[in-house]
């Protein structure tokens, strides 16, 4: 017997379906990460680094977003907080994004060469991501503190 999806699960299923149109690079990279052994190794290395049950997979995906769009840790966290597509890609759903300090700690555990190798599994991922940035997501804005 199939269980009925919750409202939130239905929303994120729709977002996943629309991600192909709104951010094709992340959609393609999502499929690569699920099948690529290096991604699993990096996730295992990052597991346990975060508090509050933030998995290595979430941290790796945050680092890839940071790498692809050349954002700082602060920009990455704020953009992920604001974007449903980025929340879907990072496997956060409606949980809060990790703190900048955790993203920074994770970045110190994964070399840029590894992130580049993962990103390059999608043809011209970095170029395509940078060219689509302004069109797909709101401009980065400084939040009031």
**54 pLDDT more than 50:** yes
> pLDDT at position 6, please?
80
Per-residue pLDDT at 24: 78
Give the predicted TM-score (pTM) of the model.
Answer: 0.78
pLDDT recorded at residue 123: 63
Greater confidence (58 vs 119) lies with: 58
Distance CA 53, CA 50 (A): 7
User: What is the residue-wise DSSP string for 13-64?
Assistant: HHHHHHHHHH-HHHHHHHHHHHH-HHHHHHHHHHTTSSSTT--HHHHHHHHH
Residue 50 has pLDDT above 70, yes or no: no
**For residue range 4-17, what is the model confidence (pLDDT) as tens digits?**
768 777 887 787 77
């Amino acid at each position: 017997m199939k269980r009925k999806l919750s409202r939130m699960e239905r929303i994120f299923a729709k977002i996943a379906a629309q991600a192909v149109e709104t951010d094709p690079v992340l959609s393609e990279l999502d499929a690569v990460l699920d099948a690529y052994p290096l991604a699993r190794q990096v996730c295992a290395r990052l597991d346990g680094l975060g508090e509050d049950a933030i998995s290595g997979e979430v941290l790796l995906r945050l680092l890839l977003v940071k790498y692809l769009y050349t954002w700082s840790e602060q920009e990455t966290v704020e953009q992920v907080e604001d974007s449903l597509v980025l929340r879907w890609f990072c496997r956060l759903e409606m949980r809060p994004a990790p703190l900048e300090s955790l993203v920074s700690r994770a970045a110190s555990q994964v070399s840029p060469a590894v992130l580049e190798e993962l990103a390059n599994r999608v043809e011209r991922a970095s170029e395509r991501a940078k060219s689509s940035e302004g069109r797909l997501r709101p401009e980065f804005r400084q939040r009031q503190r």
